[in-house]
Every structure is written in C-alpha cells, then in structure tokens.
Amino acid sequence: MGKKSKRGSGPRPGSNRAERVAARKERQAAAMAPPPRPFAGLAAECDLVALRSFVASATARLDLVESGTDRNDVSLATILPGAVPALVRDVDGGPEGLVAMQTDPDPEDLAAGLAEAIDWATRSAPGADYAPAGTDKTLAELIAPDSALDIVVHDDFSWWFPPGTDVPAEIADMLQRANDSIMPTARLTPKSGVGAPWWVDSGERAHLRWVRPEAEDDLMNALARLHAAGHLTLGEGSRFAGSFRTHGLLVPVFDLDNELHHEEWSDGLNQFDEWLTEALEETGDLNTAELRSRDGIRGRQVTLR
C-alpha cells in the first residue's frame, strides 16, 4: 500500500509556513478591501460623509473636472426615488444628472461606486435607466478635489421631480411618507471652517453631529483634554453625548436644547471650535485626569460603518 499523499493537506498549525500563509492572506485581503476613508483627499470629505450617513434631504451641484456642452451638469443628492445610484432628467430644456449618496444596495467600494455613478450621469440621456459600466476615473479625477460643496438642505423631497411635474398617484403616497420622515436640519459653519457640523431637531431634543477630518487618536486626545478641563460643551443647554465612527472619520455628538434655533448655537459652536483647535495643537502626554476622560469617551463610542 502506498503512502498517503500529503498534497493539499496545508501547513500544520503553528508552523512557520502556516504563519507565512496567514500573513499572505491578510495582505491580500487588505489589498482588496475598500479604503477606510472613501472620500479622503477631497475638500468636501466631511460633508460627503454627513450626506452619506445621516442627512435626510439635501442636494449640491458638483464642480466637475470636465464640463462642457457634451457633458451633463451633475448634482449630488442624499437619496433618489427607489434608492437608485443615479438618474438623468430634463430640466429647463437641458439634461441634469443626479447622483445619490444613499443607495440600496450599497456598493462595496463607496468611492468607486460614486465615481461610476457620476461618470454615468455626465454622459447619459434623460430618462435612461442606470446601467453601471465601470469607470477608470477616480473621484478626484471627476470632481475638483479642492472644491467645497454648496449644500442646499430641503424640507421635503419635492426636488425629486422637476418644477411643474405631475407626480403619479402611485408615487404620491411614497413621497408623502418620505416627507413625513424628514427632521429639521441645518449645516452650521464654524469660524475655523474645519469639519462639517450638522444640527438636527429629532423631536424631544436636538443634536449636533460634527464630522471631523483629524486622525481618530489625535481628536480623541483633544476631546479628552477638553473634558478634563470642563470645556467639552457648546454652552448652557448642551451635553456631550458621545461619538461615532463612520467612513473612517470620528463624529462628536452633542445633545442640545431644541427650544433654541440652530442659529442660536453659533457662539457656543465657535467657542468650542476655538478650544478644540488649541487642544489639537497640544502634543504632550495626557495626564491622569485626561486619560480617565479619554477612557470614558471611548466607552461611549460606536461605529456606524
């Protein structure tokens, strides 16, 4: 009887070969994984994350790298009817592309999926069904990397349809349900211009979610310094609620008194912005109180995606 073949049995657990195989598989998986910050390198990164993660109804005209008579104007949108990635419609006698940040299903690689939708929307005819064909262009090759978004926040989803459009009866109910789900929302602007602070009134209370561009550890240390110093606040009527990660960025969250209009938080926002800027400039080790603060903040942290 011949010897039993060892071919295909794989490396023995604990062997050097097993470690090398495992390391190779990890490198291959990392190379295939989408980037943790899909919108990194774009000036609009923080707002793109907000539009993708929690803003209900908003649009923004994109500053395209290539534009002209042979290219459609394209606007970014939070979500489109049917949660499709993109559509092209006829507006004032010309084609206009709309590209969604929130889709169903989500692309595995958000940056590549968004680039594909933008490229399609620039060259498709009004009424065409979205049919992804792939693109060799990156987001930075399609939209101006240093361009900020001029975002228009909407109270409803009437912008889904061009002015004067008769909404079909089978869509009217869906549109009304979507409109009823929208909460009052506003984009605030800090003096520093850093990040994207968004205010939303959820009913019982309001919230401020400030998408920040800094590396997580740097921002976490700065928040810990402010907490220990009693400066982790937007002023009376506010409370630091925690933070969450989304698309590679950290988002501090404050609960707010919703009796105050979003514009009434400007002074508190700018004071906190000043304190946070100073705390981010500190590079020394955290002291004992600051370390306790950091542990407490991390304990209330969640990850959305």
- Averaged pLDDT, groups of 10, the chain, 305 residues long: 53 64 51 78 97 97 88 96 94 90 94 96 94 91 96 95 81 89 96 97 94 97 98 97 96 96 97 98 96 93 71
CA distance 64 to 149: 12
pLDDT of 28: 45
Report yes or no: 227 and 293 within 8 Å, Cβ to Cβ: yes
Q: Which residues contact 185 (CB under 8 A, 6 or more apart)?
A: 55, 56, 57, 58, 153, 198, 199, 200, 201
pLDDT of 301: 83
Nearest 5°: CA angle at 142, between 137 and 145? 115
Cis peptide leading into residue 105 (ω within 30°): yes
Short-list 137, 103, 102, CA closest to 118:
137
Report yes or no: 173 and 158 within 8 Å, Cβ to Cβ: no
In DSSP terms, 97 is beta-bridged to 74, 88
pLDDT of 305: 55
Burial readout 23-55 (b: 16 or more C-beta within 10 A, e: otherwise):
eeeeeeeeeeeeeebbbeebbbbbbbbbbbbbb
CA distance 268 to 105: 39
CA distance 46 to 52: 10
- Per this entry, what is the length of the chain? 305
Q: Is 249 exposed, middle or buried (0-12, 13-18, 19+ CB in 10 A)?
A: buried
Short-list 206, 199, 207, CA closest to 263:
199
Q: How far is CA 81 from CA 57, 78, 158, 161, 209, in A?
A: 12, 11, 11, 10, 26
